[in-house]
């Protein structure tokens, strides 16, 4: 098979609500034109002039209030779409532009009818993506997911055109077989509910076992509504620390899931019928694996935008709504607490084991997270760096009634800019803490300058394990040249920052020492650095000790 993977792409667009396709003749776009026509359910139009075709499609989309597919061949053909694309962007008209292209091996070698079509329309489209020939394992599902993303971007809050570039290899004529269109269909067809029709949302999907995922969301203000929804649905809430739902002791909140979801049999027994996502996907890798394991579950994503936020690519129902409005609109009541109780039992057992970290005598990040939470200031806020620190918090920051507010830069999960972001948070006047690792700290030492020049207040808790400790938990552990390439010890002395920037430096010797210095630092103006030296290998051993059954 060559280009038959495009058949599910055509099928998925129809399932989503696209009904019209406009083509301009061309060789490279052969497979696309033939598959749309062979589907026999689209209204298709052929316009020999690409410029005219694009405006014709624009007119249909304006009249029908839905996305229209526009297909052209490779080379300069797409350039003739440009005037209509700019009009669609400014007028917020949804178009799905499919630009056929030569494959990568024919780029930049003088092949005829070939130009660089990457982001051909620049910022005049809502979304750009390359639909390459997929790998065997997702040959039929990947094209559907591309279609979903294209459709969502076209009809988002600010509707507009999208470009899907489609590199195609010879032979260009596809095998026309109706069975290909059905390949890769989900058990639950992909659906979209906009905020305008939220009242028509099918509540009956919550009649069985519902699992709520509360992911990172800095601006979340919907906690009370989500908790009440969970009560009605008898649904456990897997609360990421950056969702800030853990600042409650509500019985439906589950905070130790990353530890007990290592149990394969338990993961299978906890299979949900419906997964409901608020915010970004949780930090926990175990949660993401759990989603993939139960890919046949209905997956509902609720967000004010229609941006896809599920890297497992199992979403089946996109709801465009703010979370509070959605939660308050669901009135269904589940009378069966069995599913919730299974999660609560695992939660209790795992949390009891995690809490035994309080007797750990050696310097361990997990216990220090516990001490930070125990001594956290009233109305305080904390920025948590990526890599191991956010994962340590995910394990040991437990649910409890609190005024704390946790933040993280989880958009692209980088380790840069931590001091600067934390100092920005500190301008609110609230007691501010930064929990960071040594490599993250090193990436933003210049950020300390503005703290000094503007007399800002910040307490930095630094876990220094002399390098990339997270790699000791990953597959790279033990590979040749591991220390040189991944563990990367640096041997730097952070105490020198007291001279360089004038900050207040402390090397922590014990947990009791930490408690006193931490409380004093938070209550005192200026920048304070509390360095805790740990050992990467010991931390790995202790992590397993407290998190594995």
* pLDDT in the model for residue 235: 98
Contact assessment for residue 214 and residue 238, using Cβ atoms and an 8 Å cutoff = yes
pLDDT digits (tens, 9 = 90+) for 455-507: 999 999 999 999 877 777 777 777 888 777 777 889 999 999 999 999 999 99
* pLDDT in the model for residue 473: 73
Q: Which residues lie across from 432 on neighbouring strands? A: 381
pLDDT at 200 over 70: no
Q: What is the mean pLDDT of residues 122-139?
A: 91
SS3 content of the chain, % helix, strand, coil (to 5): 45, 15, 40
User: What are the residues whose beta carbons fall under 8 Å from the beta carbon of 174, sequence distance 6 or more?
Assistant: 2, 3, 4, 6, 7, 30, 31, 34, 35
Chain-wide mean pLDDT for the chain? 93
Q: How far is CA 454 from CA 175, 458, 528, in A?
A: 68, 12, 15
Count of CB atoms within 10 A of residue 259's CB? Answer: 24
Same fold, 193-349 and 360-547: yes
Contact assessment for residue 327 and residue 201, using Cβ atoms and an 8 Å cutoff = no
Domain coordinates in residue numbering, the chain: 6-184, 193-349, 360-547
Q: Which residues lie across from 96 on neighbouring strands? A: 69, 162
pLDDT digits (tens, 9 = 90+) for 496-532: 999 999 999 999 999 999 999 999 999 999 999 999 9
How far is residue 437's CA from residue 440's CA, in Å, rounded to a whole number? Answer: 5
Rg (CA), the chain: 27
Question: What architecture does CATH give domain 6-184?
Answer: 3-Layer(aba) Sandwich (3.40)
What is the value of pTM for the model shown?
0.85
Which stretch, 102-116, 212-226, 517-531, has highest mean pLDDT? 517-531
Alpha carbon of residue 199 to chain centroid: 27
Question: What stretches of 248-403 adopt beta strand conformation (E)?
Answer: 253-254, 274-278, 298-303, 317-320, 381-384
pLDDT digits (tens, 9 = 90+) for 22-51: 999 999 999 999 999 999 999 999 999 999
For the structural domain made of 193-349, what CATH number should be given?
3.40.50.1220
Angle among Cα 487, 492, 496 to the nearest 5 degrees reads 155
- CATH classification of 360-547, choosing from 1.50.40.10, 3.55.50.30, 3.40.50.2300, 3.40.50.970? 3.40.50.970
Any idea which residue has 């409890």 for tokens?
Answer: 400
Q: What is the mean pLDDT of residues 386-400?
A: 95
* pLDDT in the model for residue 536: 92
Q: Which of 31-45, 119-133, 359-373, 406-420 is the least confident region?
A: 406-420
| Backbone angles phi and psi of 357, in degrees to 5 | -60, -20
């Amino acid at each position: 098979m060559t280009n038959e993977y495009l058949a599910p792409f055509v099928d998925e667009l129809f399932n989503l609500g696209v009904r019209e396709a406009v083509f301009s003749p061309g060789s490279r776009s052969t497979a696309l034109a033939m598959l749309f026509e062979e589907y026999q359910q689209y209204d298709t139009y052929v316009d020999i002039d690409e410029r005219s075709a694009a405006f014709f499609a624009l007119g249909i989309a304006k009249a029908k209030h839905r996305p229209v597919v526009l297909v052209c061949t490779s080379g300069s053909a797409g350039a003739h779409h440009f005037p209509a694309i700019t009009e669609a962007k400014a007028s917020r008209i949804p178009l799905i532009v499919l630009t056929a292209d030569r494959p990568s091996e024919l780029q930049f070698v003088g092949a005829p009818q070939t130009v660089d079509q990457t982001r051909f329309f620049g910022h005049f489209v809502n979304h750009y993506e390359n639909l390459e020939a997929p790998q065997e394992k997702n040959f039929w599902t990947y094209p559907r997911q591309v279609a979903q993303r294209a459709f969502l971007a076209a009809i988002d809050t600010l509707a507009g055109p999208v470009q899907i570039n489609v590199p195609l290899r010879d032979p260009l004529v596809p095998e026309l077989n109706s069975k290909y269109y059905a390949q890769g269909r989900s058990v639950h067809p992909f659906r979209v509910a906009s905020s305008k029709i939220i009242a028509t949302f099918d509540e009956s999907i919550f009649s069985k076992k519902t699992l709520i995922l509360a992911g990172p969301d800095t601006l979340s203000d919907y906690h009370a509504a989500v908790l009440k929804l969970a009560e009605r649905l008898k649904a456990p809430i897997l609360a990421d620390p950056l969702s800030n739902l853990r600042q409650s002791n509500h019985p439906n909140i589950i905070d130790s899931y990353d530890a007990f979801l290592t149990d394969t049999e338990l993961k299978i027994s906890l299979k949900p019928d419906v997964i409901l996502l608020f915010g970004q996907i949780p930090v926990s890798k175990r949660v993401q694996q759990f989603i993939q394991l139960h890919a046949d579950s209905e997956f509902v994503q609720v967000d004010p935008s229609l941006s896809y936020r599920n890297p497992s690519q199992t979403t089946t129902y996109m709801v465009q709504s703010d979370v509070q409005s959605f939660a308050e609109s669901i009135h269904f009541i589940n009378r069966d607490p069995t599913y919730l109780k299974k999660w609560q039992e695992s939660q209790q057992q795992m949390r009891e084991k995690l809490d035994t970290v309080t007797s750990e005598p050696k310097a361990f990040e997990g216990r220090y997270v516990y001490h930070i939470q125990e001594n956290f200031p009233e109305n305080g806020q904390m920025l948590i760096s990526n890599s191991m620190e956010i994962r340590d918090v995910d394990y040991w920051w437990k649910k409890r009634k609190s005024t704390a507010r946790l933040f993280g830069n989880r958009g692209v999960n980088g380790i840069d800019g931590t001091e600067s972001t934390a100092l920005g948070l500190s301008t609110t006047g609230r007691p501010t803490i930064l929990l960071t690792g040594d490599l993250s700290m090193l990436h933003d030492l210049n950020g300390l300058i503005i703290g000094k020049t503007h007399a800002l207040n910040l307490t930095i808790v630094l876990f220094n394990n002399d390098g990339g400790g997270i790699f000791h938990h990953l597959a790279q552990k033990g590979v040749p040249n591991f220390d040189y390439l991944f563990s990367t010890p640096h041997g730097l002395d952070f105490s020198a920052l007291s001279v360089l920037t004038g900050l207040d430096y402390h090397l922590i010797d014990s947990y009791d020492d930490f408690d006193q210095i931490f409380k004093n630092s938070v209550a005192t103006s200026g920048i304070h650095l509390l360095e805790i030296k740990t050992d990467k290998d010991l931390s790995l051993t202790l992590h397993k000790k407290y998190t594995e059954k």
